[in-house]
Amino acid sequence: MVYQVPNTTNPDAIAAHSILLRRLACPHLPPQLDPTQPNYNPYITVDYLDTVPIQDAVKFLPGGANANLIATATRASIGRREPFAAAPAQIVAQVPNPALTLQPQHTMFRHNGVEPTSAVVNNNPDPKAAGQTLQIPFHWLTHLNRQLVSPGELLQVSGYKPHELTHQFITGTLAAPVPYNHRAPWFDQTSRLYRALELLETGDRAAGMSVGGRLAGKMNINMFWNDSGNAAQPFSLPFRALCDAQSANNFYGGAAAPDATVDAIFAKMLAWRSPNGTPGPDDRPFLGLAPGLSSTADPQYPPVASTPTIPRIGIDRTLLASASGDGNPASPRLFGVPVPAGSTDPNQLHPYQQSALMTKIFSNVTTRSNCFAVYITVGFFEVNDDTVRPVRLGAELNRSENRHVRHRMFALVDRTNMTSLPNNTFYGGVNLTNPGGPLPQQGTTNMSTSGVDPRTGRAWQIQARTATQRGTLLVFDPNDPGGNEETVEVLAVDPVNNIITANFLNPNHGGGSVTIRGNPGPWTRYDPRQDAAVVPYFSIID
C-alpha cells in the first residue's frame, strides 16, 4: 500500500491503519460491484486488523532532521498472540530473539514467538520464554464443519458477524485475556434465544428414523430418581445409561469409578429438581425449552416458596439450567461438566468440553412421557348444588348402608401410536423413479388423499410441500415387524388420481398401511377397544 501526503505532515499525526481481509461473495464468479446490475458479486470482509501503527521512517523534514525518526532496527511489525485473537488488546509488537539487524523486527515466514524456528521444540514455542509474544497453547475455536451430533452443539456458534468473530473470540486485557466471548447468548434468558432449541433437531441415524417421525429411546428427565437407597450418595441407573461415560468423554471418572462425574451431576440435578428427594410441593420439574421467562410477581406462576426471588418459569426449568439456580448467564450449567478447582487445563476450561454431557444427551431426553398406566375408580355421589362449577357433591350413595357401588378400570396407554388418519388407510405400493438406483429417491404411490375420519367426523386432506409450509408427514408400514416403517414428507399431490409423490429411503414398500402420527381430536364416542394401538391393554375390574 502506497499513498502520498504533503511533506509538511507530521507522521505522528497520521491515524493508525486498518487492514482488511476480504474475499468475493462468490469466489467462482468475477467481481461485480454494482448492486443494481445482474450477477452482483461484491467483496466481503471476513477479518481485519485494527489500529496498525505508523512507523516514522522520514529522515528529513523541511526544517531539518526528523527528531522522531525511528531507526530501522528499532521498528517492529505487530502480530496476534493467537490466530483468532484480533482484538486490539491482543496485538503485540514482534520482538524476535536474537534481534534482526538492518531491518525492522518482524516474524514473517515463521510463528509469532520470540524464538527462531530452529529453536522451537516439537513445533511448540516456549510459553515461559522472556517477552513471549505468542500465547501457548492457543485457545481453540470450535468449528463445526460436519453434521451436528445434537442441537446442543449450537451452544458454541458465534453470535457475531463473520468479520467480528476474531475481535470477540478473546477480549479482556493482554495480562488477563477472557476467551470464548464470541458465542451467542444462549444462557441469557432475557434474550429468549434458548427457546429456539425447542424447534431444532438433528437427524436420527438409526434405521427407519426420519426428521419429523418418531424418535426412539427418549427418556423423561423428570423420571430419574435415586436408585442407591442412600440419600447422601444418590445415583440413577437410567441416567448412567443415558450418559454412557466412556474413556473418550471428559466426564469419564476413570476405570475405578467411571460414573463418578455423572453421579455428581445427577446429585445436583436431583437436589434442584426435587429438593426432598421424592415428589413434593417444592419440586421444580423440568419443562421444555419453549416457555419464556415469567415474573416473580406473576400470580399464574408464583415462585417456589423456598426460592421466592427465582422466577417459576425460565431457563432454570430447562436442560440449560444454571448451577447457581438464579438464571445467571455467566454461571456454570447444572448439567455442565465441573472444572476441578484451580485447574488451568485449557481442555477442561473450554466451553465445548464443559457442555459435553449436555451435547451427548440433548437429543435423547424429553420432559414429556407418552406411556402411562391409567387406573380409574368411578363412584356415585349426591349432588347438593348443581348451580356452581364444579358442582358441589354430597355423600356417596348408599355408603352409610355399605351398599355403595364403585366401578374400576385399568389400562395401559401409548400416545406415540395416536394417528390422525383412519386405521383402514392403505397404499398400493411405491413406484421409484429409478428402481435399483441410489437412495433416497423420488417415488409415487396410490392412496386416498382426502376423506372423513369416521372416529371423529372430521375431514382430512393430504397437503403437498409449498414454499412456506412443510408437506404432510406420512408413515408407511407403521410398526412393521420387518423394520420397513418410514416417515416421508409429501412433495406433490394429485387429488384427481389419488397419487402422492415423496422421497423414499426404503425401497421395500410393496403396499400396506399408511398413516399420519398425531392427535386425531376427540372421537364422537371413544371406545378403547377400538383403539388397540393406543390402548394395548384395557380391563374393567368390576
**Can you give the pTM of this predicted structure?**
0.78
pLDDT of residue 79: 93
Mean pLDDT score, 133-157: 91
Which range is least confidently modeled, 21-35, 58-72, 513-527? 58-72
Q: What's the mean pLDDT when you consider all of the chain?
A: 90
Helices and strands counted in the chain (H then E): 6, 23
Distance CA(126)–CA(480), nearest Å, equals: 62
Q: How far is the first Cα of the chain from the last one, in angstroms, to the nearest whole number?
A: 94
Backbone angles phi, psi at 324, to 5 degrees: -75, -20
Percent share of the chain, pLDDT over 70: 97
Q: What is the pLDDT of residue 159?
A: 95
Least reliable range by pLDDT among 5-14, 145-154, 352-361, 509-518? 5-14
Query: Residue 474: which of 430, 415, 524 has the closest Cα?
Result: 430
Confidence tier at 57 by pLDDT (50, 70, 90): confident
pLDDT of residue 189: 92
Rounded to the nearest 5 percent, the helix, strand and coil shares of the chain are 15, 25, 60
Q: In the predicted model, what is the mean pLDDT of residues 28-55?
A: 94
SS (H, E, C) 14-74: CCCEEEEEEEECCCCCCCECCCCCCCCECEEEEEEEEEECCCCCCCEECCEECCCCCCHHH
Q: Quick one: pLDDT band at residue 208, thresholds 50, 70, 90?
A: low
Instruction: Answer yes or no: is pLDDT of 538 > 80.
Output: yes
Confidence band (pLDDT; 50, 70, 90) for 133? Answer: very high
Is residue 433 over pLDDT 90?
yes
pLDDT band at 397 (very low <50, low <70, confident <90, very high): very high
User: C-alpha cell of 141?
Assistant: 475455536
Residue-wise pLDDT for 449-478, tens only, equals 999 999 999 999 999 999 999 899 999 998
Give the residue from 240, 152, 226 showing the smallest Cα distance to 196. Answer: 152
CA 207 – CA 488 distance, rounded (Å): 14
- Give every CB contact of residue 488 below 8 A, 6+ residues apart in sequence: 210, 473, 474, 476, 502, 503, 504
In this prediction, residue 303 carries a pLDDT of 83
In three-state secondary structure terms, 445 is strand
Catalogue all structural domains in the chain, each as residue range(s) with its CATH number: 188-369 (no CATH), 372-413 (no CATH), 426-515 (2.60.40)
Question: What per-residue confidence (pLDDT) applies to 450?
Answer: 94
**pLDDT > 90: what percent of the chain?**
63
What tens digit of pLDDT does each residue of 284-325 get?
A: 899 999 988 888 888 888 887 777 888 888 999 999 999 988
Q: What is the mean pLDDT of residues 191-219?
A: 81
At 161-171, the pLDDT tens digits run: 999 999 999 99
Least confident of 23-27, 249-253, 424-428: 424-428
Residue 212, pLDDT > 80, answer no
pLDDT above 80: residue 424: no
Tell me what pLDDT residue 148 has: 92
Q: Look at the block and give the residue holding cell 515466514.
A: 109
Rounded distance between C-alpha atoms, residue 485 and residue 473, angstroms = 13
Task: Give residue-wise pLDDT tens across range 494-522.
Answer: 999 999 999 998 888 999 999 998 899 99
pLDDT for position 137: 87
> Are the beta carbons of 295 and 311 closer than 8 angstroms?
yes
Phi-psi sector, 394: left (phi>0), alpha (psi -120 to 50), beta: beta
Asked whether the predicted pLDDT for residue 11 surpasses 70, the reply is no
Does the pLDDT at position 347 exceed 90? no
